[in-house]
Structure 1
Amino acid sequence: MPEPQYGDPDREYQLSATESDVMVAGGESYNGWTYNGEYPGPEIRAVEGERVRVTIENDLPEETTIHWHGMVLDGDNAMDGVPGVTQTAIEPGEEFVYEFDAEPAGTHWYHSHVGLQLDRELLGPLIIEERNPHIEYDTEATLVLDEYLPTEPRVETSSGTGGGMGGMGGMGGSGFPDAPPAEGTLINGRLPDDPTPVDVEEGSRIRLRLINAAAAATYEIGIGDHELVVTHTDGPAVEPVSVDTLEIGPGERYDAVVEARSPGTWPIRVRPVNKSTSAGRALLDYDQSTGDVTEGEIGSRQLRLSDLHAIDDLDEYRGEPDRTIDLTLSGGMMGGDGDEWTIGGQAYPDADPISIEEGEHVRFRMANRSPMRHPMHLHGHHFVVGDALKDTVIVPGHMGEITIDFVADNPGTWFFHCHHLYHMETGMAREIPYEQ
């Protein structure tokens, strides 16, 4: 494992991973694991290019780590937070110092990368401010989307039929290893009967930073009588595109500007896709509103991957790749054992590393041979998919295919995995090592 390198930080934060009571509505709470007793955890914020130091103390009864989801960590592979790959896990009673450069700018997040700890609520927002934003806005709000799972997380084997592209159900017989059923949808840790308010003034422009921190659910988001002007995905900027709704998979982030032109109190609706779990909501609450909630209508224009066009120059990702790797995603009864999910027919940790070399333009062609969506996440890099830069992309179920291109310009051992936590935990991951 690489040796950590430390410098002179511009920002310093202190986190403590602890057992805490998590309040999700008035009078309703459950025992979870949190950072500093908060859920979501404390916001970590910096300006792009600054050096950030975070000291984490482990007060949990088991080992832990933190992954900085979205950070490139150029030259800082030891800070990536993957236990047994980039660091030794932090034992109970011990602490570890993470330090990294705040880049790229955008909406990111941090979370445990040990076992199923993400589904115990060990997560928080990581916001890197642009020095020169390409959009104008007056205020901002971060919305962290998650599932309400008040019981201890565990891998279950689904049975029966159904599930579809993003469902929780299996295919009958032995079924699929999967997440336990959630009991609802949380926005900033709140259930819909005690929603988070998002305050706006009429005539202003608010930037919503949307983070899907769920272990398994893909969500559809919309606001009655308001457009979402999508401006960023997974951090990097895109040409603004107006839609009524967008889908966001586990690990993905979107920024959207909303123009406050319809006074009142409007639900920000967050609906799990292809699942029976109840929806969540926050409230877009105008100044001078009476507090009466107006449901309103949500239009039918949904964001498509083809709508996203990066602001950054993508020339280095264009042309024929130096290396093309075909990866089949499968699991359950669809080309794999009933108790694991696989990439290329292999289940982690027994899977072979994916071999590439520094400086190569690499192309992954992913073919999904299972009925379920797989949000695939690459550590330490952004990749081009379509005409956008992302670090997480949903590969649709039922023979869906997605191709991504990246440049191997950040030597180290990097993790590539499905961000459906229970798929990753039962094998859908690979290591990508390459040296300088």
Structure 2
Amino acid sequence: MNSINRRSVLLAGLGVAGAGALAACSSGSGATPALVSPSGPAVAAAENKRKGTGRTRQVPLTAAAATLDLGGGVTARSWAFSGRTPGEEIRLSAGDTLSAELSNRLPDKTPTSIHWHGIALRNDMDGVPPVTQRAVRAGADYTYRFVTDAPGTYFFHPHVGVQLDRGLYAPLIVEDPDEPLSYDDEWVVVLDDWVDGVTGTPDEVLAELRHGMGGMDMDGMGDMSTKFMLMGAESELLGGDAGDVKYPYHLVNGRVSADPAVYRGKPGRRVRLRVVNAGGDTAYRVALGGHKLTITHTDGFPVRHEQVDALLIGMGERYDVLVTLDDGVFPLVALAEGKDATGMALVRTGSGGAPGTTVRPAELNGRILTASQLRAADEVRLPSRKVDRVHRVELTGGMGKYNWAINGEAFDMTDPAAHPLTVEEGQRVRLDFVNTTEMWHPMHLHGHTYQLGGHGPRKDTSIVLPKKKLSVVFDADNPGQWMLHCHNAYHAEAGMMTLVAYRS
């Protein structure tokens, strides 16, 4: 039985989620140390330390099949929250409690969950079956409840199989009650690569990819015949191979380029763009034609301001930028890095016709800073201290066998805590990402933000280039069991995941 089927059977068998349902895991050999339970007293104590406002925001979320209008006559049969993608934005203030009731109405007895990407929340609300909860089975409901004490730009999505590459995602904005930035308006921009219900499903994509390059059929001309696998995608910014999957559409706020989403404003207004990459396999190079962008935040945390022409944003990353709008009609273009395709939205502040769907502003080839060139704002930079624990996180595998893994071992959903990276509360921890593969990987740590180097930005998702090393540090201040994985949906499901677990 292959791993996707093992996972489906396991998740379906776990049944309805329940708070504290999963105790600390251990391997059958008894070699695994005792770990903090996701719903144990250490987790409760950490939650009690969070500064709350006493206010609660209640949000219903129904996951169900939906026929989605992507614009331009394009429709897709997919899954979505409350019949739309992106789902309706959730916005609240730092310190507020979010109470989100998930109703699973997905077809075919499909289990699901919600992961609150980037939020340092209590462990048993992280939404990761079978580590922190049992999967929410079809027809069941489950309430996620936690304090959102860190302002920033986040989003939420399932953490079951490759459901991330359907329409089940939405932005989550935690506002700063003492916001230091000055601007006139906000625009949340969600990017996505789209295949579901158009040329196939994410599960069909994964099934083809699992054959690997060596298992592809050959056509009569001796060439590889594939429906979903992308050949020849190359990017200098990403160090070579740009991606695995051919997507028919690239969306900006759920719309295709032929019928784009439109932001309407006035010349001279200063607008904060909150840019989220919710894609499954695509990094985007983002530019607003005729404008400079000032980077203010990445992954929710402030950085020293830098003016750029374009952004490079990997799956799971978020960037906040400020832009002062000119007079006219301007394309906001998301170039699918290395894939020779674009998504587009429009900014309209005056009269004029819309640019063509294939427009590529000169800014796309202008100044682009990578995350490693940014610096954390002084108020969020981690204080200097001795590192107590170092873990080597070697990224392994390749397209030949599609055997993506960490430290040579594919993550086992039937025994998630078999080989954890253990930490202890209070430690300063360094993770050394060592990419031995021929492809880049956006590495995401749940429940924490880490810092790149000594002065780099605070992030939870970072691009690790092929054949390169990236070191990050974080303080172990949020006890529990936390996933660390590639945010390429297909790499993660193939096995490029592991567990960062607190010892009890």
1:289 maps to which of 351, 367, 370: 351
Query: Given the alignment of the two structures, is residue 38 of structure 1 paired with residue 84 of structure 2, yes or no?
Result: yes
* Secondary structure, counterpart of 1:88 in structure 2: coil
Does the CA-based 8 Å contact 1:215-1:250 persist in structure 2?
yes
- The separation in 2 between residues aligned to 1:144 and 1:138, in whole angstroms, is 20
Q: CA deviation at 1:169?
A: 6.7
2:264 maps to which of 199, 219, 237: 199
Correspondences of 1:285-434 after superposition (within 5 Å): 285-286=348-349, 288-293=350-355, 297-298=362-363, 300-313=366-379, 316=382, 318-332=384-398, 338-349=401-412, 352-386=419-453, 387-397=456-466, 399-434=467-502
Q: Which of structures 1 and 2 has the larger relative contact order (alpha carbons within 8 angstroms, sep 6+)?
A: 2
Higher mean displacement: 265-274 or 288-297: 288-297
Please list the CA deviations of residues 256-297 of structure 1 after superposition, one character each: whole Å capped at 9, or x if unmatched: 11101x211010111011124x201101110x3234439653
Q: TM-score, normalised by structure 2?
A: 0.79
Q: For residue 367 of structure 1, what is the amino acid of its counterpart?
A: V
Please list the CA deviations of residues 227-273 of structure 1 after superposition, one character each: whole Å capped at 9, or x if unmatched: 0111110001112210001100000000011101x211010111011
- The separation in 2 between residues aligned to 1:29 and 1:316, in whole angstroms, is 46
Q: CA deviation at 1:316?
A: 4.2
Does the CA-based 8 Å contact 1:168-1:181 persist in structure 2?
no
Structure 1 residue aligned with 2:201: 152
Q: 1:167 to 1:242 in 2, by over 3 A?
A: closer
Q: 1:87 to 1:109 in 2, by over 3 A?
A: same
- The separation in 2 between residues aligned to 1:58 and 1:377, in whole angstroms, is 26
Please list the CA deviations of residues 158-187 of structure 1 after superposition, one character each: whole Å capped at 9, or x if unmatched: 5376444659979xxxxxxx8542112100
Q: 1:44 to 1:381 in 2, by over 3 A?
A: same
Correspondences of 1:42-57 after superposition (within 5 Å): 42-57=88-103
* Secondary structure, counterpart of 1:190 in structure 2: coil
- The separation in 2 between residues aligned to 1:127 and 1:216, in whole angstroms, is 24
Structure 1 residue aligned with 2:221: none
Q: 1:367 to 1:279 in 2, by over 3 A?
A: same
- Give the gaps of 5 or more residues in structure 1: 171-177
Does the CA-based 8 Å contact 1:317-1:405 persist in structure 2?
no
How many residue pairs get matched? 420
Does the CA-based 8 Å contact 1:317-1:407 persist in structure 2?
no
Does the CA-based 8 Å contact 1:66-1:112 persist in structure 2?
yes
Q: For residue 152 of structure 1, what is the amino acid of its counterpart?
A: T
Q: CA deviation at 1:313?
A: 3.8
Does the CA-based 8 Å contact 1:148-1:185 persist in structure 2?
yes
Query: Given the alignment of the two structures, is residue 63 of structure 1 paired with residue 111 of structure 2, yes or no?
Result: yes
Q: TM-score, normalised by structure 1?
A: 0.91
Please list the CA deviations of residues 332-365 of structure 1 after superposition, one character each: whole Å capped at 9, or x if unmatched: 27xxx82321111111016611111111100011
Q: CA deviation at 1:314?
A: 5.2
Correspondences of 1:86-105 after superposition (within 5 Å): 86-105=132-151
Q: For residue 375 of structure 1, what is the amino acid of its counterpart?
A: P
Q: For residue 339 of structure 1, what is the amino acid of its counterpart?
A: Y
Structure 2 residue aligned with 1:270: 334
Larger radius of gyration: 2
Q: For residue 500 of structure 2, what is the amino acid of its counterpart?
A: I
Q: CA deviation at 1:27?
A: 2.1
- Give the gaps of 5 or more residues in structure 2: 1-21, 23-37, 49-53, 214-223, 225-230
Which structure has more strand as a fraction of its residues? 1
Q: CA deviation at 1:28?
A: 1.5
Correspondences of 1:13-32 after superposition (within 5 Å): 13-32=59-78
- The separation in 1 between residues aligned to 2:96 and 2:128, in whole angstroms, is 23
Does the CA-based 8 Å contact 2:271-2:322 persist in structure 1?
yes
